[in-house]
Structure 1
Amino acid sequence: MNCYALLKCGVCALGLWLAGQAVAQSVRDTVRETVPQVQPALSGEAPPPGASVASSTRTIGWEQLIPAGWDPYKDLKALNLDKLKDNDPKADEALKKMRKMWDNAPINPLILGQSVRLPGYMVPLEDLPEGTKEFLLVPYFGACVHSPPPPANQIVHVVLDKPTKRFRLMDTLWVTGALSATQTDSHMGMSSYRMEAKLVAPFVDKK
């Protein structure tokens, strides 16, 4: 299963957690009304046009941040969602476990310390007059803002040398730098990775 499919299943699962809070509606009805339409994760195949980066830097995709064999929604596999009734405690318990597992999602140690270039959407962590110096990079539109946060190993905490006013919420970017296994708990979501960015550039699809 590819990264997009994993994330889509995960977001649908968290949508179910929200559904469990609605007393008057069934789990299935609430899911249909509240689960966002998630876009695919940005592709890591195309290099940013005109960008000047070191030859040792390689472009990666979001699936490479997930360690082999890790299942982001294993706690839901034992549930038959079609048979659950309103506010079923089994669903609530499973989804809480899954959220805890997601917030402590393991990193891929093979990618640490490497200079990589990763595409994603910007979620600023601050709103300062001089601009943004720290933000979360997420794989699909709306993550952490219009939908629940993805697993922590699908969020990168990016720190810039200097604040920038060039980019805004949900702008698509290429971010280049070395990844470290540094967990950050922010008001927008938990991240398993951190990057001291050497280059941030607009994302442009390869034609």
Structure 2
Amino acid sequence: MPNLKPIRLFSMLALSLSLIVLLTACQDAPDSSQAVRADFEELDWDALLPADWQPEALLEQLEVDNIPDDDPRAVAVMEQIMQLWNAAPTVPLLAGRRVSLTGFLVPLDFETDQLSEFLLIPYYGNCIHIPPPPANQTLHVVMPEGHPHRAGVFDVVRVSGTLRIASFRHAMGVAAYRLDAELVEYDQAAGADVMQQME
């Protein structure tokens, strides 16, 4: 795995995801889903980060660049990172906004493809050099009752709905935001393209 800082990696992935959204918007005459999109504000993942919260600085303090992934110290450092990540602050002014974000879908139930809820993240990570996204880069997406979303692992989806400030903890991750979904669009091919950039 390349030794990239998570925010630097996020920027690369966010650019790719933005291009996906742009290409989708530039297709032929708008259909009904495109008409609905106009009701939502397109957000970059950076918008979910408070201006004074600097995750790269936190990682530098832990000197993660000097610790190999197989170093015994990596376990303790990862625990420190996750404590900081799970307490990541939010942007209160975003509460109640009708927004759209594009990211990777993380199922909370792997026994069904009919998802009533799932996590949405900007990138995948599982080591001290590319840790999982912090809580303020993780959305707990809740589908309307009786209208689950059918999806698979590694799908890239664009979710539109109302954003809330609400903590959610699960074995798959900790989210600081909740997104009450009204529209979910996905592109499996786009997900494969973005995943290749992480290799």
TM-score by length of 1: 0.67
Counterparts of 1:197 and 1:83, CA distance in 2: 41
Please say if 1:108 is aligned against 2:106: no
Distance 1:199 1:47, change over 3 A: farther
Q: For 1:162-181, what aligned pairs fall within 5 Å after superposition?
A: 162-165=147-150, 167-181=151-165
Q: Which moves more between the two structures, 113-122 or 42-51?
A: 42-51
Cα pair 2:37 2:160 within 8 Å, conserved: no
The one-letter amino acid of 1:194's match is R
Residue equivalent to 1:159? 142
Q: CA deviation at 1:43?
A: 1.9
Residue equivalent to 2:175? 191
Residue equivalent to 2:5? 9
For structure 2, the 5+ residue unaligned runs are: 26-30, 191-199
Number of aligned pairs? 171
Q: CA deviation at 1:129?
A: 4.7
Q: CA deviation at 1:101?
A: 1.1
Q: CA deviation at 1:75?
A: 3.2
Cα pair 2:96 2:164 within 8 Å, conserved: yes
Q: For 1:96-135, what aligned pairs fall within 5 Å after superposition?
A: 96-129=79-112, 131-135=114-118
Once superposed, what is the RMSD of the aligned Cα atoms?
A: 3.6
Q: For 1:14-33, what aligned pairs fall within 5 Å after superposition?
A: none
Quick one: percent identity of the two aligned structures? 33
Q: Please give the per-residue CA displacement for 1:136-175, whole angstroms capped at 9, x wherever unaligned.
A: 01112x347xx7421111110001112232x211111110
Q: CA deviation at 1:65?
A: 0.6
Cα pair 1:47 1:59 within 8 Å, conserved: no
Greater helix proportion: 2
TM-score by length of 2: 0.70
Counterparts of 2:104 and 2:168, CA distance in 1: 17
For structure 1, the 5+ residue unaligned runs are: 1-7, 13-35
Cα pair 2:113 2:152 within 8 Å, conserved: no
Distance 1:118 1:130, change over 3 A: closer
Q: Which moves more between the two structures, 79-88 or 192-201?
A: 79-88
Counterparts of 2:115 and 2:106, CA distance in 1: 10
Instruction: Find the partner of 1:46 among 5, 22, 41.
Output: 22
Residue equivalent to 2:184? 200
Cα pair 1:76 1:94 within 8 Å, conserved: no
Cα pair 1:121 1:137 within 8 Å, conserved: yes
